[in-house]
Amino acid sequence: MTDWTVGTPTALGDLPHAATTYLEAHDVRDVPRALTAFAPDAKVTDEGHTYQGAAEVGDWLANSASEWTYTSETISATRIDADHYDVIRHLEGNFPGATADLHFRFSLRGDVITGLVIES
């Protein structure tokens, strides 16, 4: 089990390609590009729901937070180990609470995301 409370701060430019591809594509809602960052058997957990496999992750990418308008900014990144990174993003928008700092916890295998957990 990964201990997400320990790690080394890392520059955003040093994040793995898969993580930056997902974050950049998600910001502009480019679902096909975002999906290329994930392994075919990847698992995503967001808002208490888990999505597994390309079809479910693709549906999640297309529909997550689509009812809200918001901006997001990456405020920090931590390298937990070679396969795990925790990226904190600050969101502001018209969703309940209007602001949120969310952890995007990436698990990687080679150059693809195998797991992503988004939580506060």
CATH number of the domain that 22 lies in?
Answer: 3.10.450.50
Per residue in 58-99, pLDDT (tens digit) is 999 998 766 778 889 999 999 999 999 999 999 998 888 889
- Contact between 90 and 71 under an 8 Å Cβ cutoff? The reply is no
Q: Report the pLDDT value the prediction gives residue 71, as an integer from 0 to 100.
A: 85
Residue 27 lies inside a defined structural domain of this protein: yes
- Is 50 contained in some domain? yes
Alpha carbon distance 17, 23 (integer Å): 10
Q: Which residues pair with 43 in a beta bridge?
A: 52, 115
Establish if 3 belongs to a structural domain: no
Q: Which residues span the domain enclosing 99? A: 8-119
Residues near 106 by Cβ (< 8 Å), separated by ≥ 6?
16, 18, 19, 84, 85, 86, 87, 113, 115, 116
2 within a domain of the structure (yes/no): no
Residue 1 domain flag: no
The residue that leads in pLDDT, 1 or 118, is 118
| Average pLDDT over the chain, rounded to an integer | 93
Residue 33 is assigned to a structural domain of this protein: yes
Give alpha helix (H) positions in the chain.
Answer: 17-27, 31-35, 53-63
**Domain tally, the chain:** 1
Residue 18 lies inside a defined structural domain of this protein: yes
Can you give the pLDDT at residue 103? 97
pLDDT of residue 91: 92
pLDDT of amino acid 95: 82
- Angle subtended at Cα 58 by Cα 25 and Cα 90, rounded to the nearest 5 degrees: 45
The verdict on residue 29 lying in a domain is: yes
